[in-house]
Chain A
Amino acid sequence: MKHDFSELRLERVTRRFAGSGGNIFNALSELSLTIRRGEFIALLGPSGCGKSTALNCIAGLLPLSGGMIRLDDTRIDTLPPERRGFGMVFQNYALFPHMSVVKNVGFGLRMRGVSTSEIAPRVEKAMRLVQLTGQEHKLPGQLSGGQQQRVAIARAIVIEPPLILMDEPLSNLDAKLRLETRSEIRRIHRELGRATVYVTHDQDEALSLADRIVVMKDGVVQQIASPQEVYAQPANLHVARFMGYRNVLHLDVAEDRGDRVTVTAPDIKLTGVRKAPINGTRASVAIRPEEMTIVTAPAVENVIAGRVENVEYGGRDSLVDVVTPKGTVLHVRAPVNVAMGAQVLVQVPPERVLVYPQEAGNA
């Protein structure tokens, strides 16, 4: 078991499960990823996308069906979890209910045969790092959810693992605590200086925490990129939808020149940026609600007329549904004073209209 490393390489890591009726399905298909020391990686995707499978494969809790995992020069995918030495934080914390907080935190050290005199100061240091001093002799059942989470993190980091794996660690906390703990996790990651792999279905968590985001769907990697890139330049429509591009329209291609594409429908004409080569006459465009604005004077291009059909009040602004004459619904962030039933013009800059090839199944 190593305490430090320079990179962890996943090479075409695959995991298959036997599904119902003897069908075999790929929970994880050929994930290749190199995690460098100090990096914070988020595995992001909807439930069932294979992100937890990937994490369990790294931890050694699931054997691989194919591929290889290497920690520097050592092949580790054949080792049982207890010999990989990665720290793991579970979704429901998995604290040992019969052990006090210090016993829980010190468990990994005891299993490694660290002497009692050395365990105490190391546990104390970990407890200080997660800011949980004064609770040492309580049982997990006597702690709040947020405190239990801190114990789980302390237990995982006290063994000084090269890699910390976190499986949706914040999903059981309330909204306020989730924000606080999120910045705590980032701080702890910085202080330890090792690598963290963090599984989440929440794009805000992934954007705010990660150095790189791995977006997954149905066991297949969709995009591996920095938060900025995943946010602004999604690799495909799945990623775009997941990153909050709520308007996805399927339109006819009118003009395809340079990196610009113009797409139309009887009541819509939009020019946008081509994100991938487009074959055929149909294309899909993705636009964020916050990139669209309601304008009063008719502008030059990318203006769509419609009627306000629904207004969701959101404090600083409102989320408005604008319906075009042919019935296409656009989700638009608008000032709070927009009235139901009003005729409006919606405008979007061409560089914020992302054009992708037509998805299969949307003729």
Chain B
Amino acid sequence: MSTALPSKASVNETLAPRAPFDRVLLLVVPATLFMLLLFIYPFIYGLVLSFEPKEGGWLANYRTFFTTDNLWPTIGTTLKLALPATLINVGIALPIAYKMRVKSRWQRWITTLLVVPITLGTVLIAEGMLTYFGPKGWLSQFLQLTHLYDGAIRLTHNYWGVLISLIISGFPFAFLLILSYVTGIDPVLARAASTLGADSKAQFRHIYLPLLAPGLAMCFCLAFVQAFSVFPSAVLLGAPAGPTRVISIAAYEAAFEQYDYSLASAIAMIMGFVQLVIVAFVLSLRSWFYKGPVSGGKG
């Protein structure tokens, strides 16, 4: 069509009769209040607070963060934990969820088993890991008893302890999310591909993977945000003074050991900003993929 279409707004103005007020809309009021009071207000309060340092100009807190040697490296420390943990979780969850897409006798049991860790708190997982992976833990005793490995095993109170804990607690989440994406794809598509000559590898590569890509990106973002705010396991299973001094520990110390709420707010803002950058980057990759419905036609 060569004639310019009227803009959406003017169509609405000219065609839509003014609708009477719909009282059902009032149902959103409690949720809006909830968001305003418990999310928007604290966030803005924190943002403003972060620009009101105890001393110095309005950017002093941010200057402090990026010039103090035990503060700015926490970004890197946290990323070094959160990114591998997320990649491993999504990477392991994808093939397992793909295998679990077909209903079988074992499917329910395996799914249940894989999801159990989500019901355990991080503290419980940390306790269990200390008993199992510790220097005198079961794993170490077993390996030394059977002489499979005689060296010292250090999987707690360091980087690896926190990473393992993040994988244990984050995996069920990634698995459930990907499983729901995988089972949402019409299996007839794979069958159609097979009649056209695609073996199971090609079916995964050409049908499932492209249709799953947006979901995987979403899953990565959610799992990453979860892992990035790691705190209890970094303290209980890590070395909170050194290699696992993550950004949330820095914020906690500023707030509850130095009682500098302003600096703590600034650290929290920086933490949020880093998450936002990663999430925005990953979601921007989604524009490369097909994002429409994942069924193969009508009905």
Show the binding face of A for B, using Cβ within 8 Å: 1, 59-61, 80-82, 84-88, 90, 92-98, 107-108, 111-112, 139-141, 145, 148, 152, 155-156, 159, 165, 172
Contacts and interface: CB of A to CB of B under 8 A. Distances in A.
A103 to B, nearest CB: 10
Contacts of B295: 92, 97
Interface in B278-295: 289-290, 292-295
9 contacts: A82-B194, A90-B188, A90-B297, A92-B298, A94-B191, A96-B192, A98-B289, A140-B296, A141-B293
B195 A88 contact: yes
Interface of B: 186, 188-189, 191-199, 202, 206-207, 210-211, 289-290, 292-299
Nearest to A140: B297
B196 A111 contact: yes
Contact of A88 (B192, B198, B294): B192
Given A61-B191, A98-B290, A90 B197 contact: no
Contacts of B196: 82, 87, 107-108, 111, 155-156, 159
B198 A111 contact: yes
Given A140-B297, A141-B292, A96 B189 contact: yes
A172 B299 contact: yes
A81 B211 contact: no
Given A95-B192, A96-B189, A98-B210, 19 more contacts: A82-B199, A90-B188, A90-B296, A92-B295, A92-B298, A94-B191, A96-B206, A96-B207, A97-B290, A97-B292, A107-B196, A108-B197, A111-B193, A111-B197, A139-B292, A141-B292, A148-B298, A156-B195, A165-B195
A59 B194 CA distance: 10
B286 to A, nearest CB: 13
Contact of B202 (A59, A111, A172): A111
A59 B192 CA distance: 10
A80 B200 CA distance: 10
Contact of B297 (A1, A61, A94, A107): A94
A155 B206 CA distance: 15
Nearest to B213: A98
Contacts of A141: 292-293
Contacts of A145: 297-298
A86 B292 CA distance: 29
B192 A80 contact: no
A81 B199 CA distance: 9
B195 A59 contact: yes
B298 A172 contact: yes
B100 to A, nearest CB: 20
A1 B290 CA distance: 32
Given A81-B191, A98-B210, A92 B199 contact: no
A1 B194 CA distance: 13
A92 B206 contact: no
Contact of B198 (A82, A94, A139, A172): A82
B206 A61 contact: no
Contacts of A86: 195
B195 A93 contact: no
Contacts of B206: 96, 107
A242 B268 CA distance: 73
Contacts of B296: 90, 92-97, 140
Contacts of B207: 96
Contact of A96 (B193, B194, B199, B299): B193
B9 to A, nearest CB: 26
Contact of B211 (A90, A93, A94, A98): A98
Contacts of B195: 59-61, 81-82, 84, 86-88, 156, 165
Given A95-B297, A97-B293, A112 B197 contact: yes
B297 A81 contact: no
A80 to B, nearest CB: 7
A108 B188 CA distance: 16
A29 to B, nearest CB: 24
Nearest to B191: A61
A92 B198 CA distance: 19
A87 B299 CA distance: 21
A91 to B, nearest CB: 8
Contacts of B211: 97-98
Contact of B188 (A92, A98, A107, A165): A92
A93 B202 CA distance: 20
A107 B193 contact: yes
A221 B104 CA distance: 31
A170 B171 CA distance: 45
A92 B194 contact: no
A152 to B, nearest CB: 7
Contacts of A1: 197
Contacts of B293: 97, 141
Contacts of A159: 196-197
A93 B106 CA distance: 31
B51 to A, nearest CB: 46
Closest 10 CB pairs of A and B: A93-B297, A98-B290, A108-B196, A111-B197, A94-B296, A94-B192, A88-B195, A81-B194, A94-B188, A92-B297
B193 A93 contact: no
Contacts of B210: 98
Contact of B189 (A60, A88, A94): A94
